[in-house]
Amino acid sequence: MSIDVSKVFLFDNSAKNLVEAELLDAIVEKQLLDWEDQWIPARDEVNRRLKAAGVDRSKWPQTGHWSWRDKQLGIKGSLSNPSFCVVHADETQGLMILDTLPSARLSSQAGKPIVYIDYLEVAPWNRKHLPGDVPRYGAVGSILMRAAIELSLQEGFKGRVGLHSLPQSNDWYANKCGMTDLGPDPAKQNLRYFEMTPEIAQAFINRGS
């Protein structure tokens, strides 16, 4: 399998500078091993800290039940489900799986093809879980969102992107990405559905996010 690798830059919050990373248009065994050997122990440590701090379980990371190995197995061989990852220092920093078959729901775009983000997650060490936490690297999620937009453009979808958001990510999609909130979707456990028009997508790219 031929993998396309692009140079991207993350923000190192400790050194306060940009560091070079790679965006790969595939999730391969190396990423799944990183998830098992690095992400899961880091996630368990986060949960231990949250429990010790008395944080209610409803506020623990909502991706804790996700199995990236199962998700990748579920799309094996599917041409309509491309995947991406961000790698730095030989560690997987973020993962994403897309779907190119859904259609837009916004009235101005209804029925037009979109790139739908099935799953997007950054490594546990790249998120703030408790006051005082400093994520190791910033911009991982933004790089993956930009990859989804770029794929939408390449497919002729003009940058249209859609997704159902976990509650903890609603603010990021609405305010950081500028996506339109279409409200809770009863067909998807009442998760809020967000969509990005071509204009919003171009604005996101222009900001250099």
- pLDDT tens-digit profile, the chain (209 residues): 689 999 999 999 999 999 999 999 999 999 999 999 999 999 999 999 999 999 999 899 999 999 999 999 999 989 999 999 999 999 999 999 999 999 999 999 999 999 999 999 999 999 999 999 999 999 999 999 999 999 999 999 999 999 999 999 999 999 999 999 999 999 999 999 999 999 999 999 998 75
60: closest CA among 49, 71, 69, 72?
A: 49
Its pTM stands at 0.96
Report how far residue 192's alpha carbon sits from residue 176's, in angstroms, rounded to the nearest whole number: 16
For the chain, the domains span 5-206
Please give the angle made by the CA atoms of 77, 186 and 64, to the nearest 5 degrees: 55
Report how far residue 116's alpha carbon sits from residue 102's, in angstroms, rounded to the nearest whole number: 7
Which CATH superfamily is 5-206 part of?
Gcn5-related N-acetyltransferase (GNAT) (3.40.630.30)
- pLDDT of amino acid 208: 72
87 close to 24: Cβ distance less than 8 angstroms: yes
Q: How far is CA 181 from CA 2, 65, 69, 77, 171, in A?
A: 36, 25, 30, 32, 10
113 close to 103: Cβ distance less than 8 angstroms: yes
Report how far residue 60's alpha carbon sits from residue 53's, in angstroms, rounded to the nearest whole number: 11
